[in-house]
Chain A
């Protein structure tokens, strides 16, 4: 269980994190989203006990991070941004060091070491000096370090940054597995990741929470929620459909991609666009090899929440690149 109350951090005149209050329960995977510099890392560093908040408090597993830092840090695993470690050590020495600091001994230590080495595929590089490892392996060493004591709480700052697609997939699967009985906070700016691993997403902009809901609920905020996308075979049908679908009473706007021969019908609030569009396709006997109902676009929601309104509007108007 993690609880923050009125958490704030001020650097000089700049308020990096402004009055964050939220709590996360075991079993939840919280995605922490925000543009670069929005305050994601600062917040995670305060939760992990690396920097002290200017105001407010953080409690992890019932321990206040400022009053009982060692107890709070003991029950948490933390992967800092960029996965720093001691470059001159071998993977094996480094894991031993962390296990020592975490007070792991005997059979449990052997077991946990084996589990993380195995789970993160560190076997082939176990005696290699960390400095000489690729970025992907270094990230995995950082994850192994955070997991070695089987913590109740995991804080991962951009865990998949710099990994190739296979490694990304592997890390996401790992997070999904862990989340059964643990509490995980993941920061990312890869939005597809939110859908794959998170049960809840908090979007912050300028240090403040601008959204706190499930990824599905976030998608429902999108103007593309329940929009209908279709692809055509022939240019003249694409042209005709663009004009006719725009006239439907259920449709707010039609976005067209002439190169790919795609159309997206953005619905009016609450309207059943799919039925209307299907009917008009049948009526005109168009060849439509592809048709689907969109659940919403996270990136569009993200942009509209984290950008000043003026930019968001002009951006959305051009945003027909799907």
Chain B
């Protein structure tokens, strides 16, 4: 476990060694605010909750999380440092886990910096803070889901742009699967069981529930399993083509 921590620390520090981290955080906060106040109608609704804030997170993550995940392995591949990393006395899993946790922690830091919105809503009224905590947890879990997908696709290429685009695409599919528009369309052709299966694969369905303040064990298991699956896929991809 100690070695996971070493990889984690190096990786997290490397985010802040370049302007990427600061640019990301600023863009994330600005967009989150724009969506909450302008598009979401935070004030106009006249309700003391953060629904207008959390509602847009899936879309924010769709575009912004690939920017965090794209460099994870593509950069190592491109600079050749992957050869150094993989010949140090660590296991593949320790490297994958350390890097993932660093990226996740970074996303968590960006998410935490949205706290003024929480303070604002508490100043204006008396929201259900338990529900808000739950929504934050759900949002963090969803960020982890997007990140694990992005990391796997980053492992498959040495080009960060390709990693970004493919991650956004696959993330889009995972989001869209839960949309009423898509579900209504498939409901016409496929039996209900399969429609439910598709819907249950979506980030949207699971995040929706948590963002309303309901933490269901099934949603937690979903995100846990999703992240586990994509991390395993990352390890597999690396093992197969790390030298290419």
Contacts and interface: CB of A to CB of B under 8 A. Distances in A.
B125 interface: no
Contact of B87 (A49, A88, A93, A103): A49
Interface stretch (A76-84, A171-179, A191-199, A202-210): A76-84
A80 B89 contact: no
B242 A51 contact: yes
B182 to A, nearest CB: 40
Given A45-B243, A88-B18, A80 B87 contact: yes
Contact of B86 (A49, A97, A98, A145): A49
A51 B243 contact: yes
Given A50-B243, A51-B243, A101-B3, A80 B84 contact: yes
A252 B14 CA distance: 65
A98 B88 contact: yes
A145 B87 CA distance: 12
A102 B86 contact: no
Contacts of A51: 242-243
Given A84-B79, A97-B10, A145 B84 contact: yes
A50 B81 contact: no
A304 interface: no
- In this complex, which of B81, B84, B88 has the most chain A Cβ atoms within 10 angstroms of its Cβ? B84
B80 interface: yes
A87 B84 contact: no
B6 interface: yes
Contacts of B7: 101
Nearest to A78: B87
B128 interface: no
A26 interface: no
A236 to B, nearest CB: 59
B6 A101 contact: yes
Nearest to A86: B81
A200 to B, nearest CB: 23
Interface string A63-95: 000000111011010101110111111000100
A260 interface: no
Nearest to A100: B6
A88 B89 contact: no
> Chain B interface secondary structure, helix, strand, loop or mixed?
helix
Contacts of B86: 49-50
Interface in B8-24: 9-10, 13-14, 17-18
A145 B81 CA distance: 12
A116 interface: no
A183 B39 CA distance: 66
B91 interface: yes
A101 B86 CA distance: 11
A73 B87 contact: yes
A252 to B, nearest CB: 47
B83 A50 contact: yes
Contacts of B10: 86, 89, 97
B186 interface: no
A78 B79 CA distance: 17
Contacts of A301: none
A88 B84 contact: no
Contact of A73 (B2, B82, B88, B243): B88
A33 interface: no
A50 B89 CA distance: 11
Contact of B89 (A84, A85, A97, A101): A101
A100 B5 CA distance: 10
B14 A70 contact: no
Given A84-B80, A97-B6, A89 B14 contact: yes
Contacts of B84: 78, 80, 84-85, 145
Contacts of A86: 10, 14, 79, 81
B112 interface: no
Contact of A88 (B3, B17, B82, B83): B17
7 contacts: A50-B242, A50-B243, A73-B87, A80-B83, A101-B3, A102-B88, A103-B89
Interface of B: 2-3, 6-7, 9-10, 13-14, 17-18, 79-84, 86-91, 242-243
